[in-house]
C-alpha cells in the first residue's frame, strides 16, 4: 500500500470535511458494533483502494480483525449480525444506510435518508457534536472527487 498517498488523501479529506468525529460500524463475533472516534484514528483505520470508473484511488473504512478488536474499547453493540442481515434483506437500503438508521435510533432520533455532501454536514449530531457515520467497507472519497471539491 502507498502509505504516503493514503495519508495525503486522508489529510485532504479532513481539511474539507464538515465533521471531524466518526461513528464506525463493523461486524464482529455475531454482533454489529458502533465505535465513536475522532479523526486522529483515521490513518490507522483507513485503507487505500482503487476507485471505480477511473477516479484514481479511494480511501475506505475496511477494518481488519485486529483493528476491530482495538475499536471494541470504544464500541457499543447495537444488534446481532443476524438481525442486521434481516433488516437489510427486508429493506431497499444498503448496509451503510441500515447502520446509519440503527445509530440514529440508538440516540433516540428519527432517521431519514439524505444526500447532504460531507463538506456541508455530518450524518448525525449528538450533544452538539457532529458525526460522520461509516459502516465497514464504506468509501470516504476518491481522488477525482477530492480534486473537484478542492477547486
Domain boundaries, the chain: 3-142
How far is 25 from 35, CA to CA, in rounded Å? 6
Q: Which pLDDT value is given to residue 1?
A: 55
Q: Which pLDDT value is given to residue 11?
A: 96
Q: Which pLDDT value is given to residue 71?
A: 97
Q: Which pLDDT value is given to residue 2?
A: 78
How far is 31 from 81, CA to CA, in rounded Å? 5
> What is the arrangement of strands in the sheet containing 138-142, beginning at the earlier edge strand?
46-50, 57-61, 138-142
- For 23, other C-beta atoms within 10 Å of its C-beta total 26
pLDDT along the chain (151 residues), means of 10: 88 96 98 97 94 90 96 96 97 96 97 92 97 96 93 78
Smallest CA-to-CA distance from 76 within 24, 19, 124 is with: 24
Q: Which pLDDT value is given to residue 52?
A: 85
Amino acid at each position: 500500500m502507498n502509505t504516503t498517498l493514503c495519508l495525503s488523501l486522508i489529510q485532504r479529506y479532513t481539511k474539507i470535511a464538515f465533521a471531524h468525529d466518526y461513528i464506525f460500524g463493523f461486524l464482529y463475533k455475531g454482533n454489529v458494533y458502533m465505535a465513536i472516534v475522532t479523526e486522529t484514528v483515521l490513518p490507522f483505520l483507513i485503507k487505500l483502494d482503487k476507485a471505480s470508473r477511473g477516479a484514481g484511488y479511494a480511501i475506505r473504512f475496511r477494518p481488519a480483525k485486529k483493528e476491530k478488536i482495538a475499536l471494541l474499547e470504544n464500541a457499543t453493540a447495537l444488534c446481532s449480525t443476524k438481525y442486521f442481515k434481516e433488516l437489510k434483506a427486508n429493506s431497499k437500503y444498503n448496509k451503510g444506510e441500515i447502520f446509519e438508521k440503527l445509530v440514529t435510533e440508538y440516540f433516540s432520533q428519527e432517521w431519514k435518508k439524505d444526500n447532504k455532501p460531507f463538506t456541508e454536514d455530518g450524518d448525525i449530531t449528538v450533544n452538539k457534536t457532529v458525526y460522520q457515520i461509516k459502516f465497514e467497507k464504506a468509501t470516504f472519497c476518491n481522488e477525482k472527487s477530492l480534486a473537484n471539491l478542492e477547486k
